[in-house]
């Protein structure tokens, strides 16, 4: 067990990564608290409108759609550590202003819309830079472990944040939650400054002159010529748009279907996050690039359980199904992320990861308003299971395409326990 734990958390032995992960954990706890408070505030200001929730989500992710590819170019041209500091500083100022509006009682719905859009600008710059920066913190041998720990950090915050937010909103209202978010976002600023630049792994990067010539279109062409990168991105774009809207759908499900309070909404988010944390930790022992079959199998599992969540009509059953849904959701996303990162050249990493962030988060402006409209028209449960069926069809289509392209066959083995496995043409 000691050896297992040592292997699971070995990236934390690297001082720079330890500072990075600690700052992210503190900030993300505040961010997830803010997401819960923001959704609750929108429902209060809009008289329980799921469409308004969809608009906020769309505004929050529209800058990701518009600016992410440009920020990926910045990541390949300039110091990622400096870019992270600037983006996080901008985020801190935004959170402070929003918390003052809420605490003083001056907040209106359009303030939340504006805050969501500006927050999206900060995320559009920070997210691809942060994704590409991990390889400089730990180097390529530890990159799979560091990426899995990133997901574990994210989902640990996703467990703690909503649970604390639900209780804090019930006890103190949403204002103090926004203030805590602003204060927690200072942690990554301090830790970025404390990093030792001499210990960063930058020897595999091209010379500065070549980095200055980096173009967005070159990154797009690079991915287009790489089916091994293109397939996981294509599957992620559809699943991200149709199913990964739980921030919106779970709030609507809790308030409009089960008629519960903020604490129960936090329980839904926490159940999803507990499963997600298990999915993230399941990938920490990975030392090589995940196979395409692992990515597609996880996508099928994610879509299947997501569909069941939407079809479940009992509160406790929804909470129980959110556990495996969260597991496969993050296991799929992390395996796809690792397959992309471990297959890309260092010179293109910033632009490729920007494209990854675009398909992972940038599809929300398209999907969120549609999902919000479906939830308001046909019910929150329908918005989940419809997205799940679309995701399942996409995953099965991608699996069929990959099987035909490779000439492999899918087999079912019943003993010692039922499982599917892939047989290559050479094995046959």
In angstroms, the Cα distances linking 168 to 176, 207, 250, 253, 363 are 8, 50, 19, 21, 31
Q: Which domains does the chain have, with CATH numbers?
A: 12-199 (1.20.1250.20), 214-406 (1.20.1250.20)
* 149, two tokens: 């720990």
CB 146 within 8 A of CB 137: yes
Per-residue pLDDT tens over the stretch 239-278: 988 888 787 788 778 777 777 765 666 678 778 888 888 8
Q: How far apart are CA 179 and CA 421, in angstroms?
A: 50
**Distance of alpha carbon 381 from its chain centroid, rounded?**
22
- Amino acid 409: pLDDT: 80
β-sheet bridge partners, residue 412: 420
Q: How far apart are CA 61 and CA 52, in angstroms?
A: 14
Mean pLDDT by 10 residues, the chain (428 residues): 66 89 91 85 81 80 78 79 90 90 87 89 85 83 82 77 79 85 90 88 58 67 89 92 81 76 70 84 77 92 93 87 92 88 80 81 71 83 91 94 85 73 66
- Amino acid 214: pLDDT: 58
Residue given tokens 């996050």 in the structure block: 273
- Number of Cβ within a 10 Å radius of residue 116: 22
Residue of 91, 253, 249, 104 lying closest to 174 (CA atoms): 104
């Amino acid at each position: 067990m000691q050896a297992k734990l040592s292997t699971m958390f070995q990236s934390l032995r690297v001082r720079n990564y330890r500072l990075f992960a600690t700052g992210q954990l503190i900030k993300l706890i505040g961010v997830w608290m803010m997401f819960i408070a923001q959704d609750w505030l929108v429902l209060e200001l809009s008289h329980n409108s799921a469409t308004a929730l969809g608009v906020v989500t769309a505004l929050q992710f529209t800058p990701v759609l518009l600016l992410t590819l440009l920020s990926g170019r910045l990541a390949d041209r300039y110091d990622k550590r400096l870019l992270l500091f600037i983006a996080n500083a901008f985020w801190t100022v935004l959170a402070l202003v929003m918390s003052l509006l809420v605490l003083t009682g001056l907040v209106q719905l359009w303030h939340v819309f504006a805050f969501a859009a500006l927050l999206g600008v900060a995320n559009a710059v920070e997210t691809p830079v942060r994704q590409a920066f991990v390889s400089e913190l730990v180097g390529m041998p530890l990159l799979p472990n560091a990426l899995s720990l990133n997901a574990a950090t994210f989902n640990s915050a996703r467990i703690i944040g909503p649970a604390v937010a639900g209780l804090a909103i019930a006890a103190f209202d949403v204002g103090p939650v926004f203030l805590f978010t602003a204060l927690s976002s200072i942690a990554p600023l301090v830790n970025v400054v404390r990093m030792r630049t001499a210990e960063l792994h930058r020897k595999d990067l091209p010379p500065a002159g070549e980095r200055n010539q980096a173009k967005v279109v070159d990154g797009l062409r690079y991915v287009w010529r790489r089916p091994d990168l293109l397939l996981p991105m294509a599957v992620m774009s559809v699943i991200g748009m149709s199913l990964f809207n739980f921030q919106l759908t779970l709030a609507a499900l809790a308030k409009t279907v089960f008629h519960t309070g903020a604490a129960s909404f936090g329980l839904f988010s926490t159940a999803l996050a507990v499963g997600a944390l298990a999915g993230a930790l399941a990938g920490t022992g990975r030392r090589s690039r995940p196979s395409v079959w692992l990515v597609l199998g996880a996508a099928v599992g994610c879509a299947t359980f997501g569909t069941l969540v939407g079809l479940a009509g009992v509160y406790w059953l929804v909470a129980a199904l959110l556990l495996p849904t969260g597991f496969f959701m993050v296991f799929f996303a992390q395996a796809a992320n690792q397959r992309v990162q471990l297959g890309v050249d260092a010179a293109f990493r910033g632009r490729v990861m920007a494209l990854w962030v675009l398909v992972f988060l940038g599809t929300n402006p398209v999907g969120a308003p549609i999902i919000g409209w479906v939830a308001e028209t046909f019910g929150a449960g329908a918005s989940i299971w419809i997205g799940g069926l679309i995701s399942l069809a996409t995953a099965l289509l991608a699996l069929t395409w990959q099987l035909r392209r490779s000439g492999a066959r899918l087999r079912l083995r019943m003993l010692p326990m039922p499982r599917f496995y892939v047989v290559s043409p050479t094995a046959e």
